[in-house]
Amino acid sequence: MVTVLQTLLQRPRPLAEIDRTSLARFLTDVIRQQVYPTSLEPTSEGVFFLARDGREKRLGILSEAGLHDFEGVRHQLSLDGRTLIFQSCPLTAANARALRRHIPWTAPRPLGLRASVGCGDRLGLATPGHVRAVRKHKLAPVFAQQSIREMTRTGRTPQQVLDEAMWGVFQEGWRQGYGADADHLKTEEDADRCIEAGFTFFTIDPSAFVDNEVDTADAATLEAKVAALPWESLETTLADLRRAYLGQHFQVGPYELSFEERTLMQALAKYGGAIAHTARMYRHIANRMGNRPFELEMSVDETEVPTSPAEHFFVARELQRLGVRWISLAPRFVGRLEKGVDYIGDLEEFEAHLKLHVAIARTLGPYKLSLHSGSDKFALYPLFARHAGELFHLKTAGTSYLEALRAVAELDPPLFREILDFARARYETDRATYHVSALLERVPKASDVPDDALPALLEQFDARQVLHVTFGSVLTATDADGRPRFRDRLLAVLQENEETYYRLLEAHFDRHLAPFDAA
C-alpha cells in the first residue's frame, strides 16, 4: 500500500484504478482516524480525504511539503523511508473555501435545464444520505438549500448551510455537480449574505408584493390597485399593456390563451408588484455576481390563491420584457400543498392545470416548473414526470428533519418523547407561517405511546405536521441556564449513529425520486 500511496503522490491516477477500501484502511491505521473511502481524492498536490475521530470529522491531507492555505495541525510521517506531511484540519469555513479551490467538484454550480431536486437539510448532517439516494436516480441534486426564514429559526448562517452540504458531498465523493439554493429571498441584504457564502441558485420570494384580494375585487377596486402599482419599476404603461394583451390570442402548445379586460387587470393587480420586485432583485444579484454564473427562480407559491394559467403567462412574459433570466418558476398550484404530507385536492383538476402550466413554461422558456412544499407529494410525482419531463424542480426541506426524528424515535425513545411533548405545546404558535391543517387533539401525548410505536407517529398525518413545523423551536429551545434543551442531544444521537440516519434518508428519498426515473 505504501507503493500505491507514493504512486498517487508522484502522479495522481483515477481512483477507479485504486482499491478505495484498502487505501482507506491503510490511512486509518496510519493516522488513527476513520477514513471515509468515498472521500479519497488524489491530486497533484497530495491526497485529500475526510476522516472521523469520535464524533468529530476532520479534513485530512497527505502531501510531500504540506499545503499552507489550510488551517490545522501538521504531523510528519515516515513511510518506507520517506517523510510525508499529514495535515489534520477542522471543518471551518476557511478550510471549506480552500478545499473548493483545490478540488473544484466540491463547489456548487448551476445545473441548467435538467430535472432537479432540492434536498433541504435543517441539521447540516443529511447530505450523505441525500447523495446515496441521488446516485441511484435521475434528478440532478441541489444539496445546499435553505430559506433565510429556516436559517433564522435554526440559528444557522448561509455559510454554514453551504459548507455543511459541501462536506457531505466530499464525504460521499459526489463528483457529478450540485447546486446551492438560497431559498425564499425577500431582501437584497439577505441575497448579499448568500452571494458571499458562495450560493449559485437564488429563489426570489415576492409574496409580500402579491395581492391576494384581487380575485374577488370589483372593477373600481381593481383600477385603484392597478393605479397604485410601481409603474416606474415596471417600465411600461397601462395603455401599452392593454395593447399588448387585449384582443390577442397566444398559442401555448396545444392551448390558446386570451385576455379580457378583467383577466388583464386581475393579473396586473395581483402580480405587478411581485414582477417589479423580482426584476429589482435579479438586477441586484446579477450585479453582485459579476461574471460568476448563477440561476434564478421566482416563487409565488406561498400565496393564498392559485396562479391561473393566464396569470402565469402574464408574469413570465413581463419578466422577459424586463430582461429577467430565470431557470425555474414556482406558481401557486391548485389544491392544498401542506407541509410534510401528500397532496390534498382533486388530482384530475391538478393535472389539467399542470398541462397548461407546462405548455407555458415550454413556450416562454423553456424553464422548469418548481414544486415547493414538495416533500411527500407522492400523488403528484407521476403527473410531473409524465407532463413536465426535464422541466421540473422538486423542492423538499422538512422531510429530512422528520427522518432525523424517526432515527431518534428508534434510537433514543426518551429524547423523542421530550421533543414530541414540546412540539405539541408549541404547535399553535409555530403553525402561523405554514400551510398545515393538523389537529392537536389527534396527536397523542408521549406517555400514551409505547416505545416500539413511536416511529409510527412519523406516518400519522397530524403528528407528522406538528413535528414538522415546530423544528425551529425544538432546535433553538434552551433551559434555565441558557443551554440547548434538545439540539445537542439530537445531533449527538445522529452523529453517533450516522449510518442509521443515512439509511432512513436514502429509503425515504428513494420514494421521492423513483417516479422520475422513466421520465
Catalytic amino acids? 183, 297
Separation of alpha carbons 205 and 201, rounded Å: 13
**CB-count burial class (<10 Å; 0-12, 13-18, 19+) for 474:** buried
Alpha-helical segments (H) within 59-187: 93-102, 127-134, 148-154, 158-172
Q: Strand pairing partners for 263?
A: none
Cα separation of 278 and 319, whole Å?
8
Q: What is the dihedral of CA 132, 137, 142, 147, to 10 degrees?
A: -90
> What distance in Å separates the CA atoms of residue 209 and residue 202, rounded to the nearest whole number?
18
Residues 134, 176 contacting (CB under 8 angstroms): no
CB atoms closer than 10 angstroms to residue 41: 20
CA angle 352, 353, 357 (to 5 degrees): 125
Torsion of CA 93, 98, 99, 104, to 10 degrees: 120
Q: What is the DSSP string of 387-434?
A: HTTTSEEEEE-HHHHHHHHHHHHHH-HHHHHHHHHHHHHHHHHHGGGS
- Is the bond leading into 484 cis (omega within 30 degrees of zero)? no
Strand-pairing partners, residue 52, are 34, 57
| Residue partners of 11: CB distance under 8 A and separation at least 6 | none
Query: Which H or E run contains 77?
Result: strand 73-79
CA 276, CA 348: separation in Å to the nearest integer? Answer: 34
CB atoms near residue 451 (< 10 Å): 12
Q: Could you tell me the CA-to-CA distances from 87 to 29, 72, 76, 238, 501 in Å, in that order?
A: 15, 6, 9, 65, 29
Which is it for the CA torsion 283, 289, 290, 293, positive or negative?
A: negative
Q: What angle do CA 393, 166, 299 make, to 5 degrees?
A: 30
Radius of gyration of the chain (CA): 25
Pair 156, 119: CB distance under 8 Å? no
455: cell is: 416511529
